[in-house]
Amino acid sequence: MKKRLISIPVILAAVSLVIVLLLALLPGSVQPAVADTLKSDKPRITLPVISAADETLLVEGNRAFAFELYRALRESDGNFFYSPYSISVALAMTYAGARSETAQQMADTLHFLLGQEKLHPAFNWLDAELAKRGQGAEGKDDEGFRLNVVNAIWGQKDYKFLSTFLDILAENYGAGLRILDFITEAEASRLAINQWVSNQTESRINDLIPQGAIDKLTRLVLTNAIYFNAAWEHPFDERMTADGPFYLLDGGQVTVPMMKQTESLGYFQGQGFQAVELGYDGGELSMVILLPEPGQFEAFEEELNAQRVEATIGGLQPIPLALTMPRFEFDSEFSLKDTLAEMGMPIAFSGAADFSGMTGSPDLCISEVLHKAFVSVDEAGTEAAAATAVVMKLTGMPIQPVEFTVDRPFVFLIRDIETGAILFVGRVLNPAP
């Protein structure tokens, strides 16, 4: 895992490469293929109508998965960062083709609390809600605030997919089938998909699919990109930034640039931890930092779950706060195959998998789930990028400001305030480069 500190304009970009259906590997290097698009005759439903109960069940389920995944990943070394929203969308599109016990295990593990007929419209609703964010708010450039979610699916020429599967993706995820020839142009197809990913993330995610990951037996690739460009509601003054200590779990310390501001910020003090909320311009999204007391980080992680996060967010109250926190930047990379299997969906990774909702026969299984992510936080705001590859194969207010100094390991998340959707989660054990 690489880490380095920089100071950059605010951008938040996340991308999920969702599904690659294949059997073998064949490296190569050629020019990108040009993909024709075969669209379902079903247009995207632009004004999805779902019940308030379904809205709540979707967001609650996604939040539960976000922090169950955190608990599963916390055994990894050092800092990490991921996009649970991106992963949930990615696997929701996969779930559209899952059947029988495969579908049940996926639903249980991913906390899909709605059936197929309600889940996909609910994801469409959440996407439509997120698309409303940021009107009139500031971004890193003259184009203003942006929060965009885009999906695409890439299929083998002349390979037959069920129209019902394609209709679900078209109506609820806006994903048309882009035709490539993986059989004779595997490397060119890989480059074409990577170029699309790069374009959707303003070149923040490049070469997402590695050489050899697409071959003549690939049949389908589903991609999702989420891009967020915003400024802090209260930017830090760079002149206030100064080197300061950050205390590590092993008792050591490092010296890093510490940003400072005194503002009215959302604050909560719980048993053994504090929390602060930093809003992005427009007041519709925020970053929440969860800071355990010294010596309590491992115990806090052990008890971290969606209910505790929800209670913390619900308890945030604005107070004058003298905030000190580090600039930080790092990237993460890990495989989710074993993690997801251990969390409760092993059949999806076995020869017994049933994804017959994609092709009409249970001839596909997931062979790997890979996730990479990047985050950078500085005085201006936040920059982040994430990528996921699911590889499949056939078969009370005080008078004085409260001191809040983030000088020890902490957890953070980025959320949509109105819906409660958790877009990103991470932890920082050491912000030093």
pLDDT digits (tens, 9 = 90+) for 198-246: 888 777 777 878 888 787 777 888 777 777 777 899 999 999 999 999 9
Integer Cα distance of 382 and 232 in angstroms: 8
Q: At 392, list the tokens.
A: 């499949």
Integer Cα distance of 136 and 157 in angstroms: 43
Q: Domains along the chain? A: 12-230+329-394 (3.30.497.10), 238-326+398-428 (2.30.39.10)
What pLDDT sits at residue 9? Answer: 40
294-314 per-position pLDDT tens digit: 999 999 999 999 999 999 999
One-letter identity of residue 256: V
For the entire predicted model, the pTM comes to 0.85
What pLDDT sits at residue 364? Answer: 80
Q: Are strands 253-270 and 242-247 parallel, antiparallel or unpaired?
A: antiparallel
Spatial neighbors of 152 by CB under 8 A, at least 6 apart, are: 175, 176, 178, 196, 222, 223
Task: Report the run of H or E that residue 121 belongs to, with start and end.
Answer: helix 116-131
What pLDDT sits at residue 142? Answer: 66
What pLDDT sits at residue 28? Answer: 38
Integer Cα distance of 345 and 163 in angstroms: 26
Contact present, 215 and 171 (Cβ < 8 Å): no
Q: At 82, list the tokens.
A: 């991921």
Integer Cα distance of 349 and 339 in angstroms: 11
Q: Which residues of the chain carry a pLDDT beneath 50?
A: 1-15, 17-29, 396-398
Integer Cα distance of 197 and 17 in angstroms: 8
Spatial neighbors of 252 by CB under 8 A, at least 6 apart, are: none
